């Protein structure tokens, strides 16, 4: 039975301002960049790789209005992304959130049972402070917490401007990331709903089950959780 509520029944353990970026692990970052530029009108923004002192990977950052996509390709088999790609193929690895303090967010989530991936690190340089940490979520996906409100650099430490030839693409009117869908294991929908309500303090505002969406041969169950400010919605 369908459920819809605009009431806030969660707990804001720490503010999550918005999606910061989505990072893809791909076998060929250059090809992915070309596709998203030519098909969706994304613009070159930042880059890291051997030329910027990063030897184990290349990462291209594309921008379209208020949304940022990062395309990363590992450069050697020792990089953990190589095993991830072997298992999953091209796909989204990191759904990153913008927060006031990456350490506060990380510690808060771990205190309620989350499993850490990258411990909080603060990089201080002439452009200010940049903080990042991450935790596990469904599958082999992670959530990074990004603190960069006092960072005036282009993107993050180790990145330089990404200069690429112009590509003609009609405006696609893409403005921001509205939501990110996670497909979870059969029978574990309620478990992951509990994860986001318990770890992040999110509230559930939409729920559909097989009595609402189905055909003769298939059906769909969906639960959507959100942050207090509505900026982060995760079906």
Task: Return the DSSP state at 14.
Answer: S
What confidence score (pLDDT) does residue 191 get?
97
Q: Name 16's bridge partners.
A: 99
**CATH topology assigned to domain 16-161:** 2,3-Dihydroxybiphenyl 1,2-Dioxygenase; domain 1 (3.10.180)
The per-residue pLDDT for 70 is: 99
Check residue 220 and give its pLDDT. Answer: 82
Q: How far is the C-alpha of 90 from the C-alpha of 71, rounded, in Å?
A: 10
Q: What is the mean pLDDT of each run of 10 residues along the chain (235 residues)?
A: 89 98 99 98 98 97 98 96 97 99 99 98 97 98 98 97 93 96 92 98 91 80 96 97
DSSP 8-state code for residue 91:
E
Q: Which residue spans of the chain are classified as CATH 3.10.180.10?
A: 16-161
Q: What pLDDT was estimated at residue 214?
A: 75
Distance CA 108, CA 123 (A): 21
Contact (Cβ atoms closer than 8 angstroms) between residue 17 and residue 99: yes
The reported pLDDT for the residue numbered 219 is: 79
- Cβ atoms within 10 Å of 194's Cβ, excluding its own: 13
Strands 16-25 and 67-74: parallel
Quick one: 89 exposed, middle or buried, by C-beta within 10 A (0-12, 13-18, 19+)?
exposed
Using alpha carbons only, give the angle 41, 27, 185 rounded to the nearest 5 degrees: 90
């Amino acid at each position: 039975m369908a459920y819809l509520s605009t009431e806030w029944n969660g707990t804001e353990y720490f503010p999550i301002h918005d999606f910061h970026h989505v990072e893809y692990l791909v076998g060929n970052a250059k090809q992915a960049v070309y596709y998203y530029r030519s098909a969706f009108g994304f613009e070159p923004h930042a880059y890291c790789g051997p030329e910027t002192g990063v030897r184990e990977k290349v990462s291209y950052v594309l921008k379209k209005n208020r949304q940022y996509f990062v395309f990363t390709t590992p450069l050697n088999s020792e990089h953990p992304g190589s095993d991830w790609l072997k298992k999953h193929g091209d796909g989204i690895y990191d759904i990153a959130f913008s927060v006031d303090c990456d350490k506060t967010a990380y510690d808060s989530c771990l205190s309620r049972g989350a499993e850490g991936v990258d411990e909080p690190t603060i990089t201080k340089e002439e452009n200010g402070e940049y903080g990042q940490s991450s935790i596990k979520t469904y599958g082999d996906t992670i959530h990074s917490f990004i603190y960069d409100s006092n960072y005036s650099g282009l993107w993050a430490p180790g990145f330089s401007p990404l200069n690429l030839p112009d590509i003609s693409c009609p405006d696609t009117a893409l403005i921001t990331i509205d939501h990110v869908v996670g497909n979870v294991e059969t029978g574990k929908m309620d478990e992951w709903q509990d994860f986001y309500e318990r770890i992040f303090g999110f509230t559930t505002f939409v729920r559909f089950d097989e009595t609402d969406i189905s055909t003769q041969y298939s059906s769909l169950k969906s639960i959507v959780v959100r942050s207090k400010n509505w900026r982060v919605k995760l079906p």
